[in-house]
Amino acid sequence: MKKKLIAIIPFMIILLFFLCFFLIQHYYQNHVHIKSEMITAKSYLQKYKDVEYGELEILKNPIITKGGIYHVSGEHGCITVNTRDNVQLILDSAHITCETGPAIYVEDSGVLNIHTVVNSTIEATSTLDLRSAIYSKDSIYFSGKGILTVQSNYDAIVSKDNILIESGSYILNADGDGIQGTDNVYILNGNITIHANQNGIQTSNNKNPSKGNIVIDNGDFIIYSNGDAIDAIANVIIHQGHFQIQCEGNANTTSSKAIKGRKLIQIQNGNFSITSTDDSIHSDQNILILGGFYQIHSSDDAIHADGILQVKGGEMEITAKEGLESTTMMIEDGTFQITASENGMTVGKKHPKDVVSLTILGGDISIKTGSGVTCALDSNQSLTISGGTIRLQSETPFCYSGKATYTGGTIIINDVEVNQILEVESKERTPMENLPDMPTPTPPQNNNPR
C-alpha cells in the first residue's frame, strides 16, 4: 500500500501543478488589476511652504542677484533672476513686457515663487533659444489670488525642472505650448485657461523614472489646443477637477489628444467635457478610471490604452468613431452610453505576445453602433460577461476569435433579452438572425441606462 502511494505522488504533484496553473491563469484573465498611484501635488507642495525668502523690497533693478521678496508693480521690462538664494516675486498690477526674450528669465535660483496678488500681465516676444514668456532653468512655484495673463509668440511658461501651481487664476495665450515642465507639473488648485497652438500642458523628461509626470489634485481647466491638451511623457494622475478641453488639430499630421500619457493615466474623479479630432484619452500603456463624469466627442477613439484599460466606476456619455479600445479591458462598474460609428468596445493585439480579453463584471452599458461591418463588443480573443446590464443596438452585437463566456448579468440586443453569447470558432460577425431563438423574449423593463 505504501509503495502504491509513493508511486502516485509524482502524478499528484503534476496534477496539482496544472490545477494551480489553470487557477492562476483564470484569475488573471478575469481579475486584471492596475496598481494605482498615490502621487499628489499637495505632498510636493510642502517642499516650498516653509521656505524663507528674506526682506521685502520694491523691485528697481531688473537683474536680481540676491534672495528676497520683490514687489513688482506697474510697467517693467525684462526681469532676470540669477542667484542661488530663494526669490519671491509679488505681482501687484504689474505689466511686464520684453521684446528680446522671456519677460521673466531665471538663470539660477533656489526656490522661485511667482505670487500674483492683483491682476497682472506678462508679454514676451521670445527668441529661439529661450522660447517662452516665463523661462526658468530651475523649478517655479506659482501662487496667489489674482489673475496672471501671459501672452507669448512661443511657449507661455517653461521650466527645465518642475512647475507647481498652488492657487490663482491663469490665462495663457501661446503660439507654442501653454505650460511645459521638463521634469514634472504639479497642480494643487486654481483656474487655468490655455489657448495653445501646440500643446496645453506637457512634460518631457523620459530619462528618470520618477519624472515626466503631470499630477492634478483639483482645479478648473479650459484648454484649447491644436496639439495635445494634457501630455505627460510618463504618468497623468488626476484626482479631481473640472475640465473643458477642445483639441482641433489635424490628427493625420499631428497628435491632437485631450489627455495623453506614455505610461499610466489614472483618473480618480472629476468632470470632463472633451472634444477632440484624435483619441480623447490615450495611454501608450495602461488606463485606470475610478470615477468621474465624461462627455466625450471624438473623431477617433474616446478612450484608448495600448495595454490595460480598467474601469471601476464613473459615468460616460460618448460619441466617437470607436468607444473604448485596449489590449485587455476590464469593466467592473460604471454607466456607459456609447454611440460609435464603428465598434463600441474593442480589444486587440498590439504585440504578438499580448493576452487579449474583454471582461465585463458589472456596470450599466448601452452601446449603439453604425451600420455595416461594426461590432458592439469586439474581442480578438476571449469575451467574458459575468454581470451588469448590457444593452446593444447593433447589426453585429458580438465579434470574437476565442472563447465567449456568459455567467451572469442581463444582455439586451435590439430590445430583445438573451441569455447566452453565440459561440463561434473564429472571428465572425454575430447578426441577430444567428442568435438562438428565445422561447419567451423579455423586453427590457427600463431602456434608460441611468
- Cell numbers describing residue 120: 497682472
- Work out the average pLDDT over 258-278: 98
What is the structure's pLDDT at 16? 61
Query: What tens digit of pLDDT does each residue of 49-69 get?
Result: 888 898 999 999 999 999 999
CA-based nearest residue to 85, from 115, 62, 57, 106: 106
Per the domain annotation, does 25 fall within a domain? no
What's the alpha-carbon Rg for the chain, to the nearest Å?
A: 27
What is the structure's pLDDT at 15? 62
What is the structure's pLDDT at 433? 39
What is the structure's pLDDT at 352? 80
Query: In the predicted model, is pLDDT for residue 346 greater than 50?
Result: yes
Q: What are phi and psi of 222, to 5 degrees?
A: -125, 115
Amino acid at 327: T
Burial label for 428, CB within 10 Å (0-12, 13-18, 19+), is middle
Per the domain annotation, does 220 fall within a domain? no
Q: Which of residues 130, 155, 175 is at a domain's end? A: 175
Q: Which of residues 155, 175, 195 is at a domain's end? A: 175
Quote the number of domains for the chain.
2
If you count DSSP H runs as helices and E runs as strands, how many of each does the chain have, helices first?
Answer: 2, 41
Per the domain annotation, does 159 fall within a domain? yes
Per the domain annotation, does 222 fall within a domain? no
Query: What tens digit of pLDDT does each residue of 295-332 get?
Result: 999 999 999 999 999 999 999 999 999 999 999 999 99
Per the domain annotation, does 4 fall within a domain? no
Interatomic CA distance for residues 55 and 35, integer angstroms: 46
Least confident window among 9-18, 76-85, 389-398, 440-449: 440-449
Which residues does 31 contact at the CB level (< 8 Å), separation at least 6?
330
Per the domain annotation, does 241 fall within a domain? no
Buried b (16+ CB within 10 A) or exposed e, 45-78: beebeeeebeeeeebeebebeebbbbebbeebeb
What is the structure's pLDDT at 349? 87
Per the domain annotation, does 290 fall within a domain? no
**DSSP assignment of 104-160, as one string?**
EEEEE-SSEEEEEEE-EEEEE---SSS-EEEEESS-EEEEESSEEEEEESSEEEEES
* pLDDT band at 170; cut points 50, 70, 90: very high
User: Helix, strand, coil: what percent of the chain each, to 5?
Assistant: 10, 50, 40
* pLDDT band at 420; cut points 50, 70, 90: confident
Contact of 406 with 374, CB cutoff 8 Å? no
Query: In the predicted model, is pLDDT for residue 256 greater than 50?
Result: yes
Q: Which of residues 118, 148, 175 is at a domain's end? A: 175
Domain of 164?
53-175
Query: In the predicted model, is pLDDT for residue 427 greater than 60?
Result: no
Per the domain annotation, does 44 fall within a domain? no
